[in-house]
Chains A and B, each alone.
Chain A
Amino acid sequence: MTTVVAAPTSGQPNPPETARKVRSAAAGADRVFQLTLRGAGLTVLVIMTTIGLFLFYRGSQALGDAGIWKFITTQAWQPSSHNFGIATVITGTLLIAAVAVTFAVPLATGVALYISEYAPRKLRQALINLVDLMAAVPSVVYGLWGFYFLQEKIIPLAKWISTTFGWFPFLGISGVDPNDPLADKTVYESSTFIAGIVVALMIMPIISSVMRESFSQSPVGEREGAFALGATRWGMIRSVVLPFGRGGMIGGTMLGLGRAMGETIAVYMLISPVFQIQPHILRSGANSVSALIALKFGAASPFELSALFAAGLALFMLTLVVNFGASAVIARTRSGALSDA
């Protein structure tokens, strides 16, 4: 059509139309701008990847001295006599994290369900703010509170649990007569249990906010369907909200696990360090990788420092694996596909 209209005015045959070239390459100021953006991205990437490289480079001396397998399986920490390993601290880290997650997950589920399902609409934003604030309270403040307040309140509970449920592995304490009223209370002090409870309060907010995010995204239609079929509120939660938010629950728990393993100062303030695997969580004496680093770096010789770097590398890799797992789990589920976490 256009050729017919155009022909009389031009008076000569049109050149054949070709597809116009779309230039997407930026020019001038935009070129500079995009390079700046790329540079920032590259800088961040370099910083983040060199963390692992530097830890490995500094720790390789100690790792080479001990050998990987011996480093992982040795319990003692005497780098000066070349007898050191992370068996105690890794086990301790995992035990503290396990106690923390055991307490934090029910608490976080309760808070998340309350905010997304039970709380009055007006209260909701205030509660979300409170939980966020809880995440921003410095860990040294949690440590102070745990050491100067919680510890003495928890000891009777620890004693009660160990006497009542002592038959359960991990919970028993050998060598203490529970019926002896004069028994030393220090047996129950500075234990994995107390450190785990304080860390549980610290990781609760992150778990809770990931859970709440995925709970509140559960489809309204399915909720109403459940109510229409005569479900009680709990019935609706169990059949719609919890299955929908399962990815958020697992992912949030793993994120919390990662945080719990990396926690330093509160754990360091609460435990009394031991260098022997301590499976009795109620008994005094515990350890973790980060507490070990905070404890030993001050007076460390270059070789001891190298051993500490190796321990830090182990912690770094452990948390990375847990976190990548968490984000993979969150991204794969139905609720996670929509959320930011």
Chain B
Amino acid sequence: MTTTTPLYTGGRHAAGRPALDAPAAAQAPQAPPAVEVRRSTATRGRADIIIIIGAAVAALSLAALLTARMIPTSSLVVFVVIAYLAFLVLYGLLVSLEDDGRTVLDRLASVVVHSLAGFAMLALVFIVVFTFFRGSQALGHFNFFTSDMQQAGPLDPLTVGGILHAAAGTLIEITIALLIVVPLGLTCAVFLNETRGAFARVVRTVAEAMTALPSIVAGLFILASVVLALGLARSGLAAALAIGVMMLPIVIRASDVVLRLVPGSLKEASYAMGAPQWRTVWHVILPTARSGLTTSVLLATARGIGETSPVLITAGFGSGLNFNPLSGPMVSLPLITFVFSGSPANTMIARGFGAAAVLLALVLVLFALARVFGGRQAGELTARVQRRRAQESLRDLERFNSRNRAPVQMGSPDG
């Protein structure tokens, strides 16, 4: 009943309204209401898909004909370039048979944008896959992770030698760099947000300009200041400092942006409760922005861990395991990748790709961590943190209640 009267859906009240329902029921058999067909609002129809397929087939055939018969080349790259250009022309031609010039432009722009984006994504995926594919040769040997290169010459097979010293060096260097960069960078970011005036503006401008500091210049700077002027030998510490100089502006800039997103009302609430500035920063601003700050530090770490040129200039090169950042050369994963891949021996190149794969895996893990821990808006909490906050708040309530009751209970025996 109710389905045939779309205007009045009064199923529950139908019994009380026989007069209204009866004529509707009587009319129903005479003129069944037309079933409304949902209008398609899709911008692409079947004809468009056929046109795309047709243009693609024609373009591929044309390119095959041209590269096979006319242009003396057998390169896949040239084939793809010709096929792509032919596709654009043919597709435009086919669309123009039915639509006006504006539509043709629109469709062509859409194809170009889609293909550019697809090409870029494909390139990224391919670079990652290629590195792991070529690296798998070395990664298959367990000793690759557990030994250094002291016993292995350039012509030794992959069953001898490994990159343990480089992995250890990378971890030591990035740890030292983080120990310097995180406190200094975050404090500086807080400074930029908490202070007004010309000085803060100058610091912000300089820090922003330095985000694009060429990494080799960071290495040169440490070479000039720490190695040549202060007399520290080329070592892990010098490399860590060079990486730190490069990471510092990145951390400052990213944290500055994140801290700026902390709602002003939270700060004002804290000040209104009488909290001093340092308590406001420590208990309100930093926890609110924790997610974003974590992301900025992790992303800067991912950048710093992969830097080759500052390390190339400042770390020196050795083949043994060295845990002391103050003396002796300390190699890192990117540096060993660079040096090995320049070698003419095939096993060394394989080791270079293996080191690159390990480095890339490290970067991917850091990146994934940054997305897991971070990526939330300032003040947005995870379910776990929200539960914890609720429990803390409950405990506070009980504490307050017991305090309020306490004087009464203590006073009652006397009274």
Interface residues of A (CB under 8 A from B): 26, 28-30, 32-34, 36-38, 40-45, 47-51, 54-55, 57-58, 106-107, 109-111, 113-115, 117-119, 127, 129-134, 136-145, 147-149, 153-154, 156-157, 159-160, 181, 201, 204, 208, 232-235, 237, 255, 258-259, 261-265, 269, 290, 293-294, 297, 308-309, 312, 315-316, 319-320, 322-324, 327, 340
Q: Within 8 Å CB of B366, what residues of A? A: 136
Given contact pairs A110-B117, A233-B106, A258-B212, a sample of 19 additional A-B residue pairs in the complex whose CB atoms are under 8 Å apart: A29-B276, A38-B195, A38-B199, A40-B184, A48-B206, A51-B245, A54-B224, A54-B225, A58-B224, A114-B116, A136-B366, A138-B307, A141-B360, A143-B341, A153-B77, A160-B71, A255-B212, A293-B220, A297-B223
Q: Does B381 contact A (CB under 8 A)?
A: no
Q: Does B308 contact A (CB under 8 A)?
A: yes
Residue from B131, B210, B212 within 8 A of A144 (CB atoms): B131
A234 near B110 with CB under 8 A, answer yes
Q: Within 8 Å CB of A107, what residues of B? A: 116, 119-120
B356 near A140 with CB under 8 A, answer yes
Q: Within 8 Å CB of B305, what residues of A? A: 138
Chain B binding surface, main DSSP class: helix
Could you tell me which residues of chain B, from 183 to 204, have a CB within 8 Å of some CB in chain A?
184-185, 187-188, 190-192, 194-195, 199-200, 202-203
Q: How many A-B residue pairs have CB under 8 A?
A: 278
Residue from B115, B194, B303 within 8 A of A37 (CB atoms): B194
User: Could you list 15 examples of A-B contacts with CB < 8 Å?
Assistant: A37-B195, A44-B185, A110-B119, A115-B117, A144-B353, A156-B74, A201-B123, A233-B110, A259-B212, A262-B213, A265-B309, A312-B216, A316-B217, A319-B213, A327-B208
- With both beta carbons as reference points, the residue of chain B lying nearest to A231 in the complex is identified as B102
Chain B nearest CB from A312 CB (Å) reads: 4
A323 CA to B212 CA in the complex, in Å?
7
A144 near B341 with CB under 8 A, answer yes
A132 CA to B215 CA in the complex, in Å?
19
A57 CA to B337 CA in the complex, in Å?
33
One digit per residue, 1 when the CB lies within 8 angstroms of any chain A CB and 0 when it does not, for chain B 114-126 equals 1111011101100
Residue from A26, A34, A159, A264 within 8 A of B215 (CB atoms): A264
Chain B nearest CB from A282 CB (Å) reads: 14
A290 near B309 with CB under 8 A, answer yes
Q: Within 8 Å CB of A30, what residues of B? A: 276-278
B128 near A235 with CB under 8 A, answer no
B213 near A144 with CB under 8 A, answer no
Q: How many residues of B contact A (CB 8 A)?
A: 101
Chain A nearest CB from B327 CB (Å) reads: 20
Q: Does B134 contact A (CB under 8 A)?
A: yes
Q: Within 8 Å CB of A294, what residues of B? A: 216, 309, 312-313
A55 near B221 with CB under 8 A, answer yes
A140 near B363 with CB under 8 A, answer no
Q: Within 8 Å CB of B367, what residues of A? A: 132-133, 136
A136 near B299 with CB under 8 A, answer yes
Q: Does B78 contact A (CB under 8 A)?
A: yes
